[in-house]
Structure 1
Amino acid sequence: MTHTDETDDRLYVPGGAAASGPYRTAITPTTAGWGYSGLRILELAPGRSHTLATGDAEHLVLPLAGGCTVEADGTRLDLTGRAGVFGDPTDFAYVPRDTDVRISSPGGGRFALPSARCERRLPVRYGPAAGVPVELRGAGTCSRQVHNYCLPQTFDADRLLVCEVLTPGGNWSSYPPHKHDEARPGEESELEEIYYFEVAEGPHGGPGMAYQRVYGTADRPLDVLAEVRSGDTVLIPHGWHGPSMAVPGYDLYYLNVMAGPGAERAWLICDDPAHGWIRSTWDDQDTDPRLPFGGGTR
């Protein structure tokens, strides 16, 4: 990997490098050096609980493995969760800024807590798994599956945007490369983004790997090509990002967390003009037959 900007080294965060207390990963706007997006990965042993003060940020409680109970503002939500990320979407909880939320798990588990600094204080709400839109995007070796948890058309929030992507081994996703770092009404929104990765194990239990590319524009250089494994994180303050490359034999999962300063909560992207033509090739290709993971689209 080459470096053209002094911040490049901090954009790839290996699993455990940002651990803090009960959090396997703790990315805040302060540690990321930006204004809005955050992510914590909470691991709870069976029968344990944790209380989080949300402060100035709205949060989701999104199970990665296992189920939990979420208590906030006098409301109790029981999340069924899931066995792991390579399947159907999970149910989830939304909790507002300026509250204390207690997360408990009789069976233990791993829970993503994506967050965004915000102004409005919305109510605690439950997001059922059956209500999460599942999208099969791309075609051929660009086929992937997207779970659209908390986007403008799927779930109300003040600034937070959250989705997850499942990519079969050997395929490329987050492709063609795109960016969202300028406020251009109707064309592009300014959003900071976090990618959190998990990679399926091989048939003999060995750890899988994948690759993530991020590169800058002429006036804002970046150059990142990171080998990622389960628990790793990549921060994208600006620039083109993609592809996310699932190596043959190892399915790839990543959680995307986005937020930004725009008055409108929108996710508008701009393809790298050198590679946007790739989209036109999908019309003549079938979706990868390994998709969908889990029970199917809805």
Structure 2
Amino acid sequence: MDDETRWFFPRGDLAHDDWQTVVDGELDGWQHTGLRVGELVDGAELRLAPRQVERMVVPLTGDVVVEWSDARGGSGTVELAGRASVFEGPADVVYLGVGTEARLTGSGRVAVAEAPADQVLDVQVLRAADIPVEIRGAGRSTRQVHNFGTPAGLHAQKLIVCEVVTPAENWSSYPPHKHDESVPGTESRLEEIYYFESAVSRGLDAPGQADPFGMFATYGSPTGQIQVDQLVRTGDVALVPFGYHGPAVAAPGYDLYYLNVMAGPDPERAWLITDDPAHGWVRSQWESQDPDPRLPYLPSAAPKGPRP
């Protein structure tokens, strides 16, 4: 099995039961992170069984209702206000602790990020209005980051989650970087999942046969050899067990989105990276460049759905 087959999965290749995408420990060589993506249409529901994982429910499109029951005997219902698309700013999200079971209903498409854990933590709801929208980089390396599941914004044991929007012609996940060695204060060991979506760039009128895509790469580091160079489209998944990863490039005419799920074996929950020394110098160029004025991408119309 080559790296393209082992670590990159086109839309549909990871379908299982009611889910369009399932990444979990059943995949050979994968153990610290998980992802589920599913559709909530025509009255459908999706179930999350109580397992030894902590989770975050992220509406990709539409609104989601989460009915939950946790390991401590608590229960409740959370209404998550979603969005028209992943290019319309952040959505409400909810963290579910270890041993929590849940029933998801609503409309649209939903992602569930997972990480094996053993600490039972409380349910946490983060409303879209309270999620910081970070503009990272400058020039053609400008991207928009929603850090709702990072150590600074979420109390969790292992799980780190964020999402990134890259407008057409821009580069993100750049300079290429790695997090596959434990170097205290410098680098942490983290598996990473990239779930992609792509769409005609905001404000453009494209013909019906338009085929939105981006590009993504992973390559070897001292930890091991890996080589993935792929066109990516909506629903595709790239797994990064180790190695330098990036860039993620949005093609002209098309915006690129990805949801990142990270976790690893280190005792500290931290996102610490090391740039590829051949390319890390590019960061210094941002000091003399302006951020891309197209960002931030926020809702183009008044948001629908339940409010806080």
Runs (4 or more) in structure 1 with deviation over 6 Å come to none
Where structure 1 has 5 or more consecutive residues not aligned to the other structure, the ranges are: none
Q: Which moved more, 1:11-20 or 1:51-60?
A: 51-60
Superposed, 1:71-90 pairs within 5 Å as 71-73=67-69, 74-90=75-91
Question: Following TM superposition, by how much is the alpha carbon of 1:201 offset from its aligned partner in structure 2, in angstroms?
Answer: 3.2
CA contact (8 A) 1:193 1:257 kept: yes
- Give the match for residue 281 of structure 2: 277
The residue type paired with residue 66 of structure 1 is: G
User: Please, which of 221, 226, 245 is the counterpart of residue 241 of structure 1?
Assistant: 245
Say whether the 8 Å CA contact 1:23–1:42 is kept in structure 2. yes
Residue 37 of structure 1 pairs with residue 27 of structure 2: no
1:10, CA displacement in angstroms? Answer: 1.3
Q: Which amino acid aligns with 1:210?
A: G
- Mean CA deviation greater in 139-148 or 26-35: 26-35
C-alpha RMSD of matched pairs (Å): 1.5
Determine helix, strand or coil for the equivalent of 1:256: strand
- Say whether the 8 Å CA contact 1:75–1:124 is kept in structure 2: no
Aligned-residue offset at 1:93: 1.1
Residue 180 (structure 1) shift: 0.3
Q: Does 1:97 align with 2:101?
A: no
Corresponding residue number in structure 2 for 1:155: 154
CA-CA distance at 1:86 after TM superposition: 0.2
| Contact 1:32-1:235 at 8 Å conserved across structures | no
Partner of 2:8: 12
Aligned partner letter, 2:109: R
Report if aligned partners of 1:54, 1:96 keep a CA contact under 8 Å in 2: no
The DSSP-based 3-state class of the residue aligned with 2:79 is strand
1:295 deviates by: 5.7
Amino acid at match of 1:118: A
TM normalised by structure 1 equals 0.94
After superposition, the C-alpha distances for 1:17-63 in whole angstroms (9 at most, x for unaligned) are 10012211111122152221000101111322222114111111100
The partner residue of 1:68 within 64, 89, 93 is: 64
Question: Aligned partner of 1:79: which letter?
Answer: L
Specify the alignment match of 1:170 in structure 2: 169
Q: 1:219 to 1:53 in 2, by over 3 A?
A: closer
1:116 and 2:112 correspond: no
Does structure 1 conserve the Cα–Cα contact (< 8 Å) formed by 2:213 and 2:231? yes
Distance, in Å, in 2 between the alignment partners of 1:30 and 1:51 is: 19
Q: So what's the TM-score if we normalise by structure 2? A: 0.91
Verify: 1:59 aligned to 2:55, yes or no: yes
Q: Secondary structure at the match of 1:224?
A: strand
Maintained 8 Å contact 1:89/1:129: yes
Q: Does 1:144 align with 2:131?
A: no
- Size of the aligned set, in residue pairs, is 290
Report sequence identity in percent: 48
CA distance in 1, matches of 2:2, 2:8: 13
Give the AA of the match of 1:186. G
Structure 2 distance, partners of 1:243, 1:121, is 36
Distance of 2:241 and 2:229 partners within structure 1: 15
Aligned to 2:271: 267
Q: CA deviation at 1:79?
A: 0.7
Following the alignment from structure 2 to structure 1, what is the Cα–Cα distance between the partners of residues 276 and 224?
14
Residue type at the aligned position of 1:70: V
Q: Secondary structure at the match of 1:266?
A: coil
Paired residue type of 1:29? G
Instruction: For 1:24 and 1:156, locate their aligned partners in 2 and report how far apart those are by CA, in whole Å.
Output: 28
